[in-house]
Amino acid sequence: MAIEKAEAAVRPGGTVPVLPRYERPREERATVSAGDCAPCADAEVAIAASALSDGAKAMLRGLLRLGTAREFAGGGVGIEYGSLLKTAARPEYVAGHVAEAAAHLRERRVDLLLVPGMSGYPIGAMYAMASGIPAVLLKKARLEGDGQRTYPAGAFVIPSYTGEGDVVMHADPAAVQDIVDGIVAPQLAAQAGESEPTLTLRTAGADDIIDKATMSRAVGESAVIVGEASIADWLRRHRAATGEARPIVARVEVVAWVTPLIKGYNRPQEHLRRAFGIAPFAGIDVESVHLSPPAIGVAGVGVLAFEGRR
Q: Kindly indicate the confidence band of residue 24, based on its pLDDT and cuts at 50, 70 and 90.
A: confident
Backbone phi, psi, residue 184, to 5°: -85, -30
More confident of the two residues 10 and 45: 45
Mean pLDDT of 219-224: 96
The string of pLDDT tens digits covering residues 93-128 is: 999 999 999 999 999 999 999 999 888 999 999 999
Query: Above 80 in pLDDT, residue 1?
Result: no
User: Distance from CA of residue 78 to its chain's centroid?
Assistant: 18
User: Distance from CA of residue 285 to its chain's centroid?
Assistant: 15
Number of Cβ within 10 Å of residue 35's Cβ equals 5
Distances (CA, A) of 184 to 38, 77, 180, 189, 242: 52, 43, 6, 9, 15
CA distance 273 to 280: 8
* Residue closest to 30 by CA, chosen among 263, 283, 293: 293
Can you list the domains of the chain with their CATH numbers? 2-305 (3.40.50.2020)
First vs last C-alpha separation in the chain: 41
- Whole-model pTM: value is 0.89
Please provide the DSSP assignment of 199-263 as one string. EEEEEEEE-SEESSSHHHHHHHHHHHHHHHHHHHHHHHHHHHHH---S--EEEEEEEEEEEEEEE
